[in-house]
Every structure is written in C-alpha cells, then in structure tokens.
Amino acid sequence: MQILGDKKIWAIGGGKGGVGKTIMTSNLGLSLAGHGKQVVLLDADLGCANLHTMLGIKNATRTLNDFLSKKYTLEEILLDTGTENLKIISGANAILGLANPNFLQKQRLINHLKTLPADYILLDLGAGTSYNMLDFFTIANEGLVVICPEPTSIQNGYGFIKSAFYRRLNLLFSKNMIITPLLQEMIRPKSKRYLKTMTDLIELVNLKDPKSAQALQTELSAFKTRIIANMVNSDEDKESVLAVKMVAEKFLGIQLDLVGNIYSHSVVAASVKKMQPFMQTAPQSQAALEVNQIVEYLMEAQNAAATPV
C-alpha cells in the first residue's frame, strides 16, 4: 500500500459508530470550502454510506460502485452539493455487493484520488478497524480521530489508533526480518507480553540491529495523528479524552495532537434532521465557530510543515 505524498488528504476515523465522524467530515468540508478551498468529500464508510444524506442529497445518482465497477472515472462520479467548491463522492451501496473492495480495486481508488482536481480530499471512514478503514487512514496526510468522552469511544478510539499504527509499521517494515516478527509477537493475542511498549521493542531491536531501531524511532516520530474531542460538556469530559493521548504516548511512543473540542450542541442534531450541515443552517453558531477553529489550525499546521526553514 502506498502512502500519498503532498496531496492534502484528511481521513476522519474514530473506531466507534455514532461518535460524529460523518458530522465532522461534512462540516469540516464546508468550512474548508468557505475558506475558498476546492474540496471533495469521499464517503469511505463502505457498508453504511450516509454522507450524501447529511448533505441533503436524497438519491445519489452516481456512487463509488460506478467507479469500482469501472463504469465511470472518479471525476465522473463527483456529485454537486449545491455549495460552491464542495463536491462529494457518494459511498458504494452495500446491497450491490461492493462494500468490500478487493486489494486491486482499493489500490486503483487510492491512485485515482491523487488525480482529483481538489485542494483537499476528506475521507469519511466507517466504524471499526477493518483493513479497509485502516488503509484509508494510512494513506492520508492527516489522520483525524473523533473521540467522545464515553468509555467505549475512548477504548475504541485508542484501539483504532493502535491498529492503524501497527498496520502502518507492518506495511513499512514488511521486508525487515528483525522488526516484523517482533511486531507480530506484540499483537499476538496470547503473547507473553515481554514487549509491552514501543520503547521495549526499540530496545530489543537495537540489540540486534541499531539501524533498524533508528528507522523505527524515525517512524514513531513521523506518525502524525490528531484527535477531535466531540460532544464534550465539561472540563472532566476533555480530561477523559486526553487520556487517549497519554496512553498512546506511554505504550505506542507517539504524540497525538488534540486539535479541538466540539461541545454538544442542539444545532447539530437539528441539522441532521434537516439534512443540512450546521455550517449552513447555523453558520454563526458556537458549533460552527469550533469547526472553523479546527480547520484554521490544521491549515496553518500544514502550511508550516510545507514551508522550508
């Protein structure tokens, strides 16, 4: 699986259902479009595609099925959203049997994503940690994980980050005969757990091959994942989402960046009922302000990363 270069692809995951991944994708997309960027939203929730519904499109005339079955190009299945600068690729219809594309179909989709005429492509991922979701998350430049302050979301959010991290390391080091078997050992259900943390792994790899340990350490520093805390109502809620950041630092050795807090807002549920994102129904609301802040933060972070020093 190849990792895309400088294309601005944001994947919005979360591990758990109902945490606000689709809400975030649609509203982040609208915010980016409002900032004058050309945006394409792709519904990568292959089993339960509903991003188009959130944007008020009742019947998607063309869907990802039409691309996966080679009927149309990716550009030909772009649907207008009625908003300037914002287009959507509606998800495949599971009933038609393409909810689980094979490796070649997925590879073709990823290759074609690079050619789309857009400044930003946002991928709305489904729940769970299937290889499809992890691979979409891995190819993106920005992985955004939506986590709510409830134990199941915290558990699944961390589980999603951990699985994506291991998947990425497995792909990157698939030919490394020292790292790969040890990684397998770490994720084996009945492992003796002498390797509890990434620090343990690096120390062991270092004894066998310092160069591989160095490469692993470099990847750990490069693994960029960000968190959005959604439906928080108090400082205590924010603290519980931050627990994921601490656990990831301790056990995975990676830094997670909390990009913003979105509170629970009545405009959000109301906008879902209206089938119109709150960036449109309530552009002056606190919810819209919070989304705009996240978008501005991310655009600035990416510009800073792209500017040579």
Ligand X SMILES: Nc1ncnc2c1ncn2[C@@H]1O[C@H](COP(=O)(O)OP(=O)(O)OP(=O)(O)O)[C@@H](O)[C@H]1O
Residue numbers of the site for Mg ion (CB under 5 A)?
Answer: 21-22
Residue 3 near which of Mg ion, ligand X, none (CB within 5-8 Å, type-dependent): none
Residue 75 or residue 290: which is nearer to ligand X going by CB? 290
Residues 120, 8 contacting (CB under 8 angstroms): yes
Cβ–Cβ contacts within 10 Å for residue 82, how many? 11
**Binding residue for ligand X, selected from 4, 17, 93, 281, defined by CB under 6 A:** 17
- Does 127 help bind ligand X (rule: CB under 6 A)? yes
Residues 6+ apart with CB under 8 A from 42: 64, 88, 89, 113, 121, 122, 123, 124
Beta bridge partners of 263: 232
Residue 23 near which of Mg ion, ligand X, none (CB within 5-8 Å, type-dependent): ligand X
Residue 26 or residue 212: which is nearer to ligand X going by CB? 26
Residue 22 or residue 90: which is nearer to Mg ion going by CB? 22
**Binding residue for ligand X, selected from 1, 8, 13, 14, defined by CB under 6 A:** 14
Of 208-267, binders to ligand X (CB under 6 A) are 230-231, 262, 264-265
The full DSSP string for 151-210 is HHHHHHHHHHHHHHHHHHHHHHTTT-TTHHHHHHHHH-TT---S--SHHHHHHHHHHH-H
- The dihedrals phi and psi of 271, each to the nearest 5 degrees, come to -70, -35
- Does 143 help bind ligand X (rule: CB under 6 A)? no
What is the gyration radius of the CA atoms in the chain, in angstroms?
19
Residue 212 or residue 230: which is nearer to ligand X going by CB? 230
Of 37-56, binders to ligand X (CB under 6 A) are 45, 48
Residue 124 or residue 219: which is nearer to Mg ion going by CB? 124
Of 263-292, binders to ligand X (CB under 6 A) are 264-265, 268-269, 272
Q: SS3 helix, strand, coil % of the chain, rounded to 5? A: 50, 15, 35
Residue 88 or residue 254: which is nearer to Mg ion going by CB? 88
Residues 228, 147 contacting (CB under 8 angstroms): yes
- Does 18 help bind ligand X (rule: CB under 6 A)? yes
- Does 22 help bind ligand X (rule: CB under 6 A)? yes
Residue 14 near which of ligand X, Mg ion, none (CB within 5-8 Å, type-dependent): ligand X
Residue 33 near which of Mg ion, ligand X, none (CB within 5-8 Å, type-dependent): none
Residues 6+ apart with CB under 8 A from 85: 32, 33, 36, 37, 38, 39
Residues 71, 63 contacting (CB under 8 angstroms): no
Residues 221, 209 contacting (CB under 8 angstroms): no
Q: What is the closest distance, in whole angstroms, from the C-beta atom of residue 278 to Mg ion in the complex?
A: 16
Rounded to 5°, the CA angle 140-141-145 comes to 70
**Binding residue for ligand X, selected from 23, 89, 98, 248, defined by CB under 6 A:** 23
- Does 183 help bind ligand X (rule: CB under 6 A)? no
State the residues that interact with ligand X by CB under 6 A: 14, 17-23, 45, 48, 126-127, 230-231, 262, 264-265, 268-269, 272
